[in-house]
Structure 1
Amino acid sequence: MFTGIVEEVGEIVDVASSGEVVVLTVRGPLVSSDAGHGDSIAVNGCCLTAVVPDGGDTFRLELVPETLKRTSLSGAVAGAKVNLERALAANGRFGGHIVQGHVDGVGTLLTRTPGERSDEVRFSLPAELAKYVVEKGSITVDGVSLTVAATDGDTFTVALIPTTLADTTLGLRRPGDPVNLEVDVLAKYVEKMTAGYLGGAATSTTPKDGAE
């Protein structure tokens, strides 16, 4: 489990193919400092498994076809910056919200309105996810825990504080860029548990995208 509090911005240093699997080599000195084989690391909000850390400041990740199909990592290129977060330790501080690292869908940055020190950013999201996104609720965008400022159909807006702009890749994103989205899992559990009482049928929207 993760919290959506990005620990560092890493860099993809190599993208290689091994059959249908894409192998990423990522540089992240902090995350690499104690990464072990099989550890879970969130990369732009996608839970991935570290494979044989290189012993320095890099580690490798394997992306299977399901991950490539369901997330923006299908467009990974060397030199791209990525948000990194290690799995939450049992005695760690819970600073964001419950983040599984199971990407629900890919959205698009639509508009960016710069302020004096903060930015207001509007994103699209798949229509089937809109019901889980509410004003002042939580959403994960490229692994960053954010509070929804406003919703309008299949779009939502967030306000990015200076720290988020400086310490995550969201400060670099421009209109047209794809982003990984994970809605609040608590909303989906509530929907499933109340479906029988409300006369509806709960549906699952969470793909098994890259959590291993």
Structure 2
Amino acid sequence: MFTGIVEELGEIVAVENLGDASRFQVRGPVVTEGARHGDSIAVNGVCLTVVDTGDGGFSADVMAETLDRSSLGALAVGSRVNLERPMALGGRLGGHLVQGHVDGTGTLIERKLSEHWEIVKISLPSELGRYVVEKGSITVDGISLTVVDAGPDYFTVSLIPTTLALTTLGVKQPGDPVNLEVDVLAKYVERLLAHGGTDQDKKAIE
């Protein structure tokens, strides 16, 4: 489980085609400190398993399913990526509960400059629209963000200088793809109600 608080802006240093998968070599000295084979690291919001570590980086295998369903398939040598280690039990939940399971991809539509921040508009797959609400949480490329405006096929977020400086959203341009993970609590609530939750359950939700 992650929190959507990016620890480090890493870089893809090598991509090996394995046929039905790819092996990424990622530079990230902060997140690899103490990391071992089998540990998890989120790369642009996708939970990947560490294969090996060394020289301030790590390698991870990415299956074809993940490449097809996320923006990781568009990564190449030199691509910058958001990196985060799993939250330690008892640690602070600085963002919101993030699983590292991408629900879909969106596209950055536009950026609007303000004096101290930017408003970014991102397209939203229609099947995810019901999970995104104004002032709710959403994960974009592994970054926990608060929704400013929610439309049927888009949403906007406000980016502070720290987010712009320390994550990939500082350099993404209109047309660039992003990974999206909606709030898992919304999905659990929907399933509970769809399967005839008890009156007590419904009152608790209300």
TM-score, scaled relative to structure 2: 0.94
- What's the secondary structure of 2:173's corresponding residue? coil
2: CA distance, partners of 1:194 / 1:38:
36
- What's the secondary structure of 1:31's corresponding residue? coil
Map 1:37-56 onto structure 2 (within 5 A): 37-54=37-54, 56=55
Q: How well do the aligned residues superpose, as a CA RMSD in angstroms?
A: 1.0
1:165 aligns with 2:164: yes
| Structure 1 unaligned regions, length at least 5 | 199-212
Q: Quote the residue 2:11 is aligned against.
A: 11
Task: Please state how far the C-alpha of 1:76 moved relative to its aligned partner.
Answer: 1.1
1: CA distance, partners of 2:130 / 2:164:
27
Q: Quote the residue 1:119 is aligned against.
A: 118
Q: Quote the residue 1:74 is aligned against.
A: 73
Q: Quote the residue 2:25 is aligned against.
A: 25
Query: What fraction of aligned residue pairs are identical, expressed as a percent?
Result: 60
- The amino acid across from 1:33 in the alignment is E
TM-score, scaled relative to structure 1: 0.91
**Cα deviation digits, residues 106-160 of structure 1 (max 9, x gap):** 0000010011120000000110000000000000000000000001111000000
- What's the secondary structure of 2:178's corresponding residue? strand
2: CA distance, partners of 1:79 / 1:37:
24
Q: Quote the residue 2:201 is aligned against.
A: none
2: CA distance, partners of 1:107 / 1:85:
21
- What's the secondary structure of 1:32's corresponding residue? coil
Q: Number of residues paired by the alignment?
A: 197
- What's the secondary structure of 2:66's corresponding residue? helix
2: CA distance, partners of 1:76 / 1:147:
26
- The amino acid across from 2:132 in the alignment is V
**Cα deviation digits, residues 177-201 of structure 1 (max 9, x gap):** 0000000000000000011449xxx
Q: Quote the residue 1:139 is aligned against.
A: 138
**Cα deviation digits, residues 14-45 of structure 1 (max 9, x gap):** 01112312000000010111111000100000
- What's the secondary structure of 2:53's corresponding residue? coil
- The amino acid across from 1:76 in the alignment is L
- What's the secondary structure of 1:30's corresponding residue? coil
Task: Please state how far the C-alpha of 1:167 moved relative to its aligned partner.
Answer: 1.0
2: CA distance, partners of 1:103 / 1:195:
22
The runs of at least 4 aligned residues of structure 1 exceeding 6 Å deviation read none
| Structure 2 unaligned regions, length at least 5 | 198-206
1: CA distance, partners of 2:168 / 2:98:
18
